[in-house]
Structure 1
């Protein structure tokens, strides 16, 4: 079994990413940005992609990438979650990049790895790894016709990877026939868009089973690495709340000295510790090509999504009145946690997938008095 502890290189990467985010993405700047017309911080993205080379971490060096692995990508996801950074890392550097790696599309992969272009996988953000996205129609030309609702990180994208009925296509996001409409989403730091394709010119990059496998690989990687982002969200919530309850006084003593507060934060710490373990396992399976990667990703999402929500809720509640205000960043983390819990499959969906992948029998039902059905394992 792999060592899931962070090695020296991963810790050095964390320090570099955290230093850049601390300098250029404080929560005050993020709060100000989501009130404006440009929720994404593309200047920050340019620094992450250009200065640190994060856009191409898992891409081989011969294709312009860093030649690292998905464990390193997971460390970056943790730090971006900890900062709720408004950048298209998950959409471009994870989902789109993994799809391109799977289907061997070198030219576009090189452009993404160097940060010259941003891509988005045009499937609804709620799509689970075991789902089959509804395809658009491909007609001779080739051009694409159809619509895809709720695509994450589509608005800043230069290229859309679109699932059609005969394969996976690359579409210029600014081409004639492509229309993207922002939709109201809970998380203003990761916006969604409805994509409409009306005879949009396209280039097929994978066909048949290769296209299906590339999309499944991308969604599995997304679910596995979203778990690391959720760990970062929960980590910030715990650290910030512990600092608050140590300094906030009621009845002449810090509120952190009250037993109910201690127990609540102890529960969050336990959840976070367990969440980090399953997220690291999922990232390691992804990095090593473990045949149980799909199972590890389902386990990570089934646990980490709810752990992040619980930590964010505790953060808001234990901050008292200030935690419910727009001026405090707690709501950014609660919204990121809540939206992440719906992304790439809900926890219930992943538990069902986990049971299937582990060959667990489905629950049996028995009839109670008055015709009530209850589950019995």
Structure 2
């Protein structure tokens, strides 16, 4: 069975990677609005999976995950995941009126966030979003951001922006089915994080291989030592297995396959554990420079542990697979 990107999907990945490589900065605490607007205007990343009748590009959810993997590789802060979860929640549970009104705004680049409950912690981009969609009980609401109490939550990895959000559903605008939106958001969040993790693991391996060719010890590049070759080969296996798990889950969620939920749990569990291992080995094989503030290895380590908890830990997803 051949499982690979189409030429168009591969071109999308290359284009996103090129733009982020030229314009992205992994050392800023929040996303670059100018870069985000460029991604939205020139590539249309925010609207890839949004139907054309709602202002999107009319592709599928899978193309959105292709772009998200490149965001993970770049280490650049981005609101793509939070906006993607919000748009998919609206497509699953929002009324026709709400979709027609809110999805074009998300496709154009406004930042969206999906909130579970009237009092929620650790809401992704919750303090920055201009489109606030809340699932409370069985209902889905649109909340005016100005009417909500939103407080930034300091985190170990400040490039992943979290916030506490409090709102009053009694003053909000009901827009649909909260249960359907909540279920879809959970799946999209899990496979979205798996895509970010896959991209970051690939970036970490590339960094480690490049460093092993430059660092000389005992008169030889350390990459020529057999023990380190074996360790890097093991990392390559983890990266490729992560990509397979991520793509399988992304495709299943995109096509609403019967096994989509199970594959999403598998992908989030496997990719979380794999990235933790890859990040630890990246630090080890970069030696002393990896723990310095100036080197990207410490960013990989922080991001790996933050993503490991976002939208559920590996342990929690494994437990759901075993049920």
TM category, shorter: over 0.9
Contact 1:223 1:297 (8 Å CA) reproduced: yes
Mapped partners of 1:12, 1:274: distance in 2: 22
Aligned to 1:255: 222
In the alignment, the residues of structure 2 paired with residue 245 and residue 295 of structure 1 have an alpha-carbon distance, to the nearest angstrom, of 38
In structure 2, the residue matched to 1:179 is 149
CA distance in 1, matches of 2:188, 2:82: 11
Instruction: Provide runs of 4+ in structure 1 moved above 3 Å.
Output: 198-201
Q: What is the match of residue 137 of structure 2?
A: 165
Correspondence for 1:127: none
Tell me if structure 2 keeps the 8 A contact 1:42–1:87.
no
The corresponding residue for 2:173 is 203
- 1:324-335 alignment runs, 5 A limit: 324-335=291-302
Residue 313 (structure 1) aligned with residue 313 (structure 2): no
How far 1:151 sits from its partner (Å)?
0.7
Cα-Cα RMSD? 1.5
Structure 1 residue 200: deviation in Å?
7.7
Q: Unaligned stretches of 5+ in structure 1?
A: 124-134, 137-146, 357-377
1:109 deviates by: 1.1
In 1, Cα distance between equivalents of 2:241 and 2:37: 34
- C-alpha separation in 2, matches of 1:254 and 1:200: 65
Is the partner of 1:186 in helix, strand or coil? coil
- Corresponding position of 2:306: 339
Q: Is the 8 A contact 1:244 1:319 kept in 2?
A: yes
Please point out which of 96, 107, 110 is paired with 1:113: 107
CA distance, structure 2, for counterparts of residue 15 and residue 108 of structure 1: 29
The equivalent of 2:11 in structure 1 is 12
Q: CA deviation at 1:300?
A: 0.3
CA drift at 1:263: 1.8
**Cα distance, 1:65–1:199 mapped onto 2, change above 3 Å:** closer
**2: CA distance, partners of 1:289 / 1:122:** 23
Deviation for aligned residue 1:269: 0.7
CA contact (8 A) 2:135 2:181 kept: no
Unaligned runs of 5+ in 2: none
2:26 corresponds, among 26, 30, 40, to: 30
1:193 equivalent in structure 2: 163
| TM-score, normalisation: structure 1 | 0.81
Of 76, 87, 95, which residue of structure 1 is paired with 2:85?
95
Residue 78 of structure 1: CA displacement?
Answer: 0.9
CA contact (8 A) 1:299 1:351 kept: yes
SS in 1 for 2:150: strand
Per-residue CA deviations over 1:10-38 (Å, capped at 9, x if unaligned) read 1110111011101110xxx332x23xxxx
1:222-255 deviation line (CA, Å, top 9, x unaligned): 1012111111000000011001001100111111
Instruction: Provide the secondary structure at the position in 2 that maps to 1:55.
Output: helix
CA distance, structure 2, for counterparts of residue 66 and residue 274 of structure 1: 30
SS of the counterpart of 1:30?
coil
Secondary structure at 1:218's aligned position in 2? helix
Please give the per-residue CA displacement for 1:160-198, whole angstroms capped at 9, x wherever unaligned.
Answer: 11122351111121x23x221111112211111111225
